[in-house]
Amino acid sequence: MALWGGRFSQAADVKFKLFNDSLKFDYRLAEQDIIGSIAWSQALSTVNVLTSDEQMNLETALNELLVSVQENPQQILQSDAEDIHSWVETQLIQKVGDLGKKLHTGRSRNDQVATDLKLWCKKTAQELIVHLDTLEAKLIELARIHQAVVLPGYTHLQRAQPVTFSHWCLAYLEMLERDHSRLEGCIERLNTCPLGSGALAGTAYAIDRTALAHSLGFARATRNSLDSVSDRDHVVELMSCATLSMVHLSRMAEDLIFYNSGESAFVEMSDLVTSGSSLMPQKKNPDAMELIRGKSGRVFGSLAGMLMTLKGLPLAYNKDMQEDKEGLFDALDTWGDCLAMAAMALTDLKVNETRTKEAAQGGYSNATELADYLVAKGIPFREAHHIVGVAVVFAIEKAVPLEELTVTEFKQFSDVIEDDVYPTLTLEATLAARKAQGGVAPEQIEFALTEAEKRLIGRDTKGIVIRDARLTDIERIESMVNYWAEKGENLPRVKSDLAESLSEFVVTELDGKVTACASVHIYDTGLAEIRSLGVEPGFEGRGQGTALVNLLVKRAEKLAIKRLFVLTRMPDFFMKLGFSPESKATMPEKVLKDCAMFVSQHASDEKALELNYKTSMLLHKETSKS
């Protein structure tokens, strides 16, 4: 049944229904639609639209539906529902009867779909960050292994100056780090909740939209209802992130295709990511790289299509916006697949060191060194440039490299050239001379690699997705916190208390399951406390606790919190993260009173530690290995 049929006396034409319906692609938002519906039921309960019993019945039914959808999302496609919102509502009504019809009170599909899509974007963007980290780690690993391998550098696809294979890897690492930064910025900007904006003018019910936003894991509620339901900046921005990253992946793919060719033979790609020819048995084609290069076009096209869709739309919602999802889903799916495939291709890449060195020695790539040698002898660079050019022509005619010309032959071009020219023309000397930051000198490569490793370690979560807590996480949070409370490592928390302080919590996910949590509580004294750090038993030792604490430290810094402390029976863990032992007596009286409300039997064992911001920044910059 359509959600809007009362106004119409005739059923929609079958062809129009097929043209209009979006279930075939927006079914992917099922989990987000259900989570948003649970939060909305909670909000309706606070304004007495739903009784506590009604809300609990709806939440129970929605959670059952969520489990069913997670186990078998394809079941949704068996329905003839118009979209995912009508499917969820129909399923809910089947479970709880007319009560299910009350859930949409004060809500529109406009703010509903905007919320669903933002929730999906947040989750998917976090998964893409993990893909980026994985590929960056592969590039760093490859660079470390082949640190001393010389590679010809190119401009205009002609040999220019020698570099190293490590330097090549680090160049693409820089591109991916910018991709990473853009994606993180996008997540921060989209972290606002449209729910409660209604169709375009806001909801008529006195919903606390800030509390609603926090319950769904958003940083805040959106500020303008017209903008809320029509904003698709996050869609465009994510597509833009994907597009620019695909440019980088395509360029890397093109390099590897060229390096893998018989003409270059610099690398050999693994059998795992190559294919053969149906006719020519000797062929080994770099199909993975060619597909990455090819798939970049569809991502670019998605972005262009979305921009064209939005550019002429009046406020507020228009059905044109339904076109946002297919392009977005495809672009981000493609980007994720290509990041994963690029990482796989680099895993078993073989580098032909002999061949790369031969190529680097050819092409007169040491000509610039000869020019620099002449400059050191007092010849102006422009004159030196001309002299070397003439010498290169002579060497080409003689079919020898520059370093095989005799001193007598060199002196035809400049009297200042002596025997001391030869050491400057070696590959080793050519590389060593480029010792300014960012150059190819061995010490600069080592410095760049070490810094890259530190940066990656600093944010390495080993496949962990970190996000703000949601209402649906409360039972998992309660279970983890109280498990460690029983062990004496935490203070116990009841569900009602957790619900009230949900906006303070962040959680981690592994393989889609919430496996750790932590919170930061801010006192009106300007002091903040890290609380309720807990990891699911069996998932310890994966860096989740460190990742959560580091995130909460960053948030405290952004909020200009001057003092951040923790009461713990695990002081060593926090000391590794920059916390220092502190006397409880130095804390404001109100803080001590608030802490006293949560006294446990192990309170006498708890140590007070306060973050040393200078030490924390140093650890984050230089080691970050904890």
Would you list the domain boundaries of the chain? 5-105, 110-187+229-355, 367-425, 465-623
- pLDDT tens profile 402-455: 888 999 999 899 999 999 999 888 888 888 888 999 999 999 999 999 999 888
Which of 185-189, 251-255, 278-282, 546-550 is predicted with the least confidence, judged by mean pLDDT?
278-282
> What are the structure tokens assigned to 440, written together?
């190819």
- Contact yes or no for 20/4 (Cβ under 8 A): no
**Which entry of 181, 261, 275, 277 is annotated as an active-site residue?**
277
Architecture of domain 367-425: Orthogonal Bundle (1.10)
- Quick one: which H or E segment has residue 466? strand 465-468
- Contact yes or no for 509/533 (Cβ under 8 A): no
**To the nearest whole percent, how much of the chain has pLDDT over 90?**
61
- Contact yes or no for 246/335 (Cβ under 8 A): yes
Q: Which of 130, 29, 27, 34 is nearest to 470 (CA)?
A: 34
pLDDT given at position 143: 94
- Contact yes or no for 579/566 (Cβ under 8 A): yes
Q: How far apart are CA 102 and CA 41, in angstroms?
A: 9
Reduce the DSSP state of residue 399 to 3 states and report it: coil
- Contact yes or no for 221/196 (Cβ under 8 A): yes
Q: How far apart are CA 148 and CA 151, in angstroms?
A: 9
Question: Confidence class of residue 591 from pLDDT cuts 50, 70 and 90?
Answer: low
386 counts as catalytic = no
> What are the structure tokens assigned to 241, written together?
């992130």
Q: How far apart are CA 346 and CA 140, in angstroms?
A: 11
68 counts as catalytic = no
Domains 110-187+229-355 and 367-425 share a fold: no
Does residue 593 or residue 189 have the better pLDDT?
Answer: 189
- Contact yes or no for 147/456 (Cβ under 8 A): no
Question: Confidence class of residue 611 from pLDDT cuts 50, 70 and 90?
Answer: confident
Residue 80 burial (CB count, 10 A): 9
* DSSP-assigned states of every residue in 44-55: HHHTTSS-HHHH
- Contact yes or no for 157/201 (Cβ under 8 A): no
- pLDDT tens profile 22-76: 899 999 999 999 999 999 999 999 999 999 999 999 999 999 999 899 889 999 9
pLDDT surpasses 70 at 614: no
Q: How far apart are CA 529 and CA 224, in angstroms?
A: 33
Reduce the DSSP state of residue 566 to 3 states and report it: strand
pLDDT given at position 87: 95
Which of 438-442, 530-534, 617-621 is predicted with the least confidence, judged by mean pLDDT?
617-621
Domain 110-187+229-355 in CATH: superfamily? Fumarase/aspartase (Central domain) (1.20.200.10)
**Which entry of 156, 278, 496, 604 is annotated as an active-site residue?**
156
Fold exhibited by the domain 465-623: Aminopeptidase (3.40.630)
pTM confidence score: 0.79
Question: Confidence class of residue 153 from pLDDT cuts 50, 70 and 90?
Answer: very high
* DSSP-assigned states of every residue in 479-523: HHHHHHHHTTSS----HHHHHHTGGGEEEEEETTEEEEEEEEEE-
* DSSP-assigned states of every residue in 260-290: HSTTT--EE--GGG-B--SS-TT--B-HHHH
CATH dotted code for 5-105: 1.10.275.10
**To the nearest whole percent, how much of the chain has pLDDT over 70?**
91
Which of 76-85, 295-304, 523-532 is predicted with the least confidence, judged by mean pLDDT?
523-532
pLDDT surpasses 50 at 277: yes
Residue 609, beta-bridge partner list: 566, 581
DSSP 150: E
- Contact yes or no for 524/559 (Cβ under 8 A): no
pLDDT surpasses 70 at 461: no
E strands, 186-304, are 192-193, 220-221, 267-268
Residue 307 burial (CB count, 10 A): 12
Q: Which of 140, 129, 184, 132 is nearest to 451 (CA)?
A: 140
Q: Which of 326, 310, 329 is nearest to 318 (CA)?
A: 310
- Quick one: which H or E segment has residue 374? helix 367-376
β pairing state of 527-535 and 267-268? unpaired
- Contact yes or no for 287/256 (Cβ under 8 A): no
Q: How far apart are CA 518 and CA 222, in angstroms?
A: 25
> What are the structure tokens assigned to 233, written together?
């900046």
Which of 142-151, 469-478, 614-623 is predicted with the least confidence, judged by mean pLDDT?
614-623
β pairing state of 527-535 and 563-568? parallel
